[in-house]
């Protein structure tokens, strides 16, 4: 059972032909309420113009939000963090961060409230790479989000390891 949770992931937008007009990335975090068992999908997507958008499904009615994000750059890693927390018995707050900067905060009505019985994640990357998808059972602090973005520890280690492996030559015995 979850009442509060955080999600983060890295994504990399690749160059693609100008003829494509579909979303670059669609990432859905589906929260299932315990009683009654209802699904509450939260969708984050990068639209065809490379802007980050956000949608919450309220009983088959999608409430879309624009995050006022700048146009996302190509060929670099971006970091997204979503914080979901119950702020009162009737309200839930969702905060959206891009590259450690808070883009938006949304207050959801009592129809969308914890505890959540299950979480499922689905990603549809198009000309995009995903890495380090993480879920926490608590609300991360702004400082923790900033540190994750600034350190990029796992990605740097991966790049370092790939660099070393690319230089290794195996001899025949």
pLDDT tens for 98-139 read 999 998 888 776 555 555 555 667 677 667 788 888 888 888
Retrieve residue 54's tokens. Answer: 């956000």
Amino acid 79: pLDDT: 92
Amino acid 158: pLDDT: 46
Amino acid 157: pLDDT: 46
> CA-based angle 118:55:122, to the nearest 5?
45
**b/e 160-169 (16+ beta carbons within 10 angstroms → b):** eeeeeeeeee
Q: Which CATH class is domain 4-167?
A: mainly beta
For the chain, give every domain's residue range.
Answer: 4-167
Least confident of 54-58, 81-85, 164-168: 164-168
φ, ψ (nearest 5 deg) of residue 10: -105, 145
Residue 44 to residues 8, 36, 119, 153: CA-CA distances in angstroms? 12, 25, 15, 24
Residue 160 DSSP symbol: H
Work out the burial of residue 97: count CB atoms within 10 Å of its CB; fewer than 13 is exposed, 13-18 middle, 19 or more buried. buried
φ, ψ (nearest 5 deg) of residue 43: -115, 130
């Amino acid at each position: 059972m979850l009442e509060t949770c955080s999600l983060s992931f890295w994504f990399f937008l690749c160059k693609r032909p100008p003829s494509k007009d579909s979303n670059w990335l669609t990432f859905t975090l589906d929260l299932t309420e315990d009683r009654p068992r209802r699904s509450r999908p939260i969708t984050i997507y990068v639209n065809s113009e490379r802007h980050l958008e956000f949608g919450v499904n309220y009983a088959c009615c999608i409430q879309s939000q624009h995050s006022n994000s700048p146009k996302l750059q190509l060929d670099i890693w971006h970091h997204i963090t979503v914080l979901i927390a119950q702020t009162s018995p009737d309200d839930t707050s969702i905060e959206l961060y891009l590259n450690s900067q808070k883009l938006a905060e949304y207050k959801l009505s009592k129809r969308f409230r914890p505890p959540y019985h299950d979480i499922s994640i689905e990603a549809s990357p198009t000309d995009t790479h995903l890495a380090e998808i993480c879920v926490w059972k608590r609300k991360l602090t702004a400082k923790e989000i900033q540190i994750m973005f600034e350190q990029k520890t796992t990605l740097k280690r991966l790049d370092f390891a790939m660099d070393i492996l690319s230089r290794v030559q195996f001899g025949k015995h």
